[in-house]
């Protein structure tokens, strides 16, 4: 099995898409791209400003255009915004020539990781945890449906997540073969050895 042309990371705020994406790209020898950061660079403004001026719909239009452009890239790991899955037209763009990975994390972990971040416009209110719960209820089924791989990130170091992802993306690595031999040699209680 050869490496995919692209790896696309989806998941909620605070799942670690940017941190894990950078490390994964380095491990694979790919270029790391972050759709939100590229939008900010092109606009010369941060995402909260874009939300204030253009509204969420304006931002989502920019996001779709960006995903369309980035769907043509090769040898890349792309971290997407948490809401990229909300527009049905984005689904084909995210999956195009890509392995889609859902970095899944608990609400509690999201709250912890995002509580001091002022660059998340949807959380700038009196009940950010309630917002995260509502977003999860709507978006989790979409992330799951799109994903080729679902990886839980709670209580795991980014380095461990990356190592596990590399083994899932390209299971022909020597480490994976050793692990399979090791697992195959273990006797399961209640069964007869061949």
Identify the pLDDT of residue 130.
86
- The two beta strands, 76-79 and 98-104, are unpaired
Rounded Cα–Cα distance for residues 92 and 112 (Å): 32
Q: Which of 121, 68, 115 is nearest to 93 (CA)?
A: 68
Phi and psi for 77 in degrees, rounded to 5? -115, 120
Residue holding tokens 């403004």? 45
Distance between alpha carbon 23 and the CA centroid of its chain, in Å? 13
Quick one: average pLDDT of 103-126? Answer: 75
Kindly state the percentage of the chain with pLDDT values over 90: 63
pLDDT tens sequence across 10-37: 999 888 899 999 999 999 999 999 999 9
In tens, the pLDDT along 91-100 reads 999 999 999 9
- The pLDDT score that the predictor gives to residue 124 is 67
DSSP assignment of 103-159, as one string? EE--HHHHHHHHTT-TT-GGG-SS-HHHHHHHHHHHHHHHHHHH-SEEEE-TT--HH
- Region 30-45: mean pLDDT is 95
């Amino acid at each position: 099995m050869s490496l995919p042309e692209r790896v696309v990371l989806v998941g909620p705020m605070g799942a670690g898409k940017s941190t894990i994406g950078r490390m994964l790209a380095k491990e694979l020898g790919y270029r790391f791209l972050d759709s939100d950061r590229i939008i900010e660079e092109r606009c010369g403004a941060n995402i909260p400003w874009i939300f204030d001026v253009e509204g969420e719909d304006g931002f989502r239009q920019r996001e779709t255009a960006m995903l369309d452009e980035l769907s043509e890239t090769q040898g890349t790991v792309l971290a997407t915004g948490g809401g990229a899955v909300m527009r049905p037209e984005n689904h084909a763009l995210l999956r195009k020539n890509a392995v889609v990975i859902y970095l899944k994390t608990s609400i509690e972990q999201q709250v912890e990781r995002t509580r001091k971040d002022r660059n998340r416009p949807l959380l700038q209110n009196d009940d950010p945890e309630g917002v995260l719960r509502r977003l999860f209820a709507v978006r989790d089924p979409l992330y799951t449906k799109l994903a080729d791989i679902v990886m839980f990130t709670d209580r795991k170091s980014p380095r461990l997540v990356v190592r596990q992802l590399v083994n899932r993306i390209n299971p022909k690595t020597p480490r994976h073969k050793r692990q399979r031999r090791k697992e195959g040699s273990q006797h399961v209680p209640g069964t007869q050895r061949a």
